[in-house]
Amino acid sequence: MSFIYQSLDPELSPAAKKWVVDNYDKKLEILKQMVRIPSLAWPGVDRTPLQESAEFIAGQIEKLKMFEQVEIIPSAADGTPAIIARRQAKPGYPQILLYSHHDIQPVGDLDLWETEPFEPTVIGDRLFGRGASDDKAGIITLISACEMVLEMEEELNIGITLFIEGEEEIGSPNFSDFLVTHRDKLEADLIIVADSGNFDLETPALTTSLRGLVSLQFTVSTLDHPLHSGVFGGVVADATMALTKILASLHDEQGTVAIEGLGSMPDSSLEIPESFIKEQAGVLQGVDLIGTGGLADRSWNQPAVTVIGIDVPGVSESSNTLQASVSCKISARIAPNDTPQEALDAIKRHLLQNAPFGSHIEFGDTELGSPYLARDSWASKLALDAMTEGYQRQAVKMGLGGSIPFISDLAQQFPNAEVLVTGVEDPDSRAHSPNESQHLPTLKKAMQTHGLMLLQSNRINAQ
């Protein structure tokens, strides 16, 4: 179906803001209860808390009394629990799928935490705890938006599906199959994925592009057996030297990727200060950034190649030996308009063409993850308007340098649906790191923003 959106109804924003003020304290307490549950999906970890988390969330959704059915469904035969709640749209109105996930990252080194990771603690304007921001605040945001539209609208016209996944932090291994199996419950005109962040603490952002992923293992060989470096050094090419020359060819002198055939996106208009990147990344004094072009483009629109592993003897096991074979793994982030298979082919060509001294290359395992590039639509315009109103700051479109493969899965499985990527994180949320936290003023603004999106969608009919 085709929908037309012009602008936000002016009476919606103050009413949505008042609803958030009236309900915020109650929602914050529910978020704290969720953070207390160590809902890990990692292999080998007790998944009882993950089931407890699913049951708690399903209970909160059932309290709304707006869904025809609320189900806890394993992602596979022995998989993690997901929650699906669906209410069908009236004819001519959009069906909206709201996505977030309730599984979390491991705590890591407890000594690096300043608070107990599963005892939610408010310090200043932040709530600290594992999963507080990624993505349990997202769940609260979406449930609040559902409750807001239910209470504020005389008639509920839109359809809403809440889909709370239970294995996002382990790479969503069963996601594609789950979408196929439960397609009838998940099919929608609009998909809102509340699992990203904003441009900065004050500026809301709609994530409109994601780089894809290509990883590749390969082995370089020059000999049929290792040799004494004193006898043959300076005459025979060893595999380690050949590998270092190959790896040096991946970038030019400025650190820009030098692989012919990798795509890139046009420059964006957003500017990121160099000092911001250096501070966030912990760049050492005197170390320069790499690449050319705007920092946003280097992070979002251009390819990046990283050597993430090399199998050679470690220093403690080293000897005076010319290595016959060495192995390496590289990880490439590809532009949102590139394709993984074409990028993989380009990388392989480059490695073969830059193998020195006739050295042999044998390719091993690969991993491909599709990029994502949103299209302009009625829904993206609505989202930007709702963000601008909710945050009282002009919303921007931004990309992410990382990959979220399940976004492409959603786009491929539901090609007619609009997919919007929103979120509640900010650059200091420290998702996946010690001292994860949710900025509470941002949570309030996100609740208002997502509520506005549903409220306005409830007044949009098919054309």
How is 435-456 classified by DSSP, letter by letter? T-EEEHHHHHHHHHHHHHHHHH
Residues in the chain: 463
Residues 6+ apart with CB under 8 A from 150: 64, 66, 156
Give dist(CA 133, CA 219) in Å, integer: 40
What's the structural domain count of the chain?
2
| Residue 401 domain boundaries | 12-210+371-457
Please list the pLDDT of the chain residue by residue as tens digits (463 residues).
Answer: 789 899 999 999 999 999 999 999 999 999 999 999 999 999 889 999 999 999 999 999 999 999 999 999 999 988 999 999 999 999 999 999 999 999 999 999 999 999 999 999 999 999 999 999 999 999 999 999 999 999 999 999 999 999 999 999 998 999 999 999 999 999 999 999 999 999 889 999 999 999 999 999 999 999 999 999 999 999 999 999 999 999 999 999 999 999 999 999 987 778 888 998 998 788 999 999 999 999 999 999 999 999 999 999 999 999 999 999 999 999 999 999 999 999 999 999 999 999 999 999 999 999 998 898 888 899 999 999 999 999 999 999 999 888 787 898 998 899 999 999 999 999 899 999 999 999 999 999 999 999 999 999 999 987 6
Nearest Cα residue to 332 out of 363, 289, 367, 364? 367
Co-location of 162 and 36 in the same domain: yes
Q: Do 425 and 56 contact (CB within 8 A), yes or no?
A: no
| Cα dist from 142 to 36, 147, 195, 205, 370, whole Å | 19, 9, 11, 17, 26
CA 195 – CA 209 distance, rounded (Å): 14
Domain boundary among 369, 399, 418: 369
Give the CATH number for residue 342. 3.30.70.360
Looking at the fold, whether 245 and 361 belong to one and the same domain comes out as yes
Cross-strand bridge partners of residue 128: 121, 437
User: What CATH number should be reported for the domain holding residue 73?
Assistant: 3.40.630.10
- Could you tell me the pTM of the whole model? 0.86
Residue 2 within a domain: no
* Residue at which a domain ends, from 354, 369, 384: 369
> How open is the CA angle 218-250-372, to the nearest 5 degrees?
85
Single out the residue in 313, 337, 369 at which a domain terminates: 369
Q: In this structure, are 130 and 176 located in the same domain? A: yes
Residue 3 maps to a domain: no
Q: Are residues 342 and 393 located together in one domain of the fold?
A: no
Domain co-membership, 135 together with 237: no
Using omega within 30 degrees of 0 as the cis cutoff, is the peptide bond preceding 46 cis? no
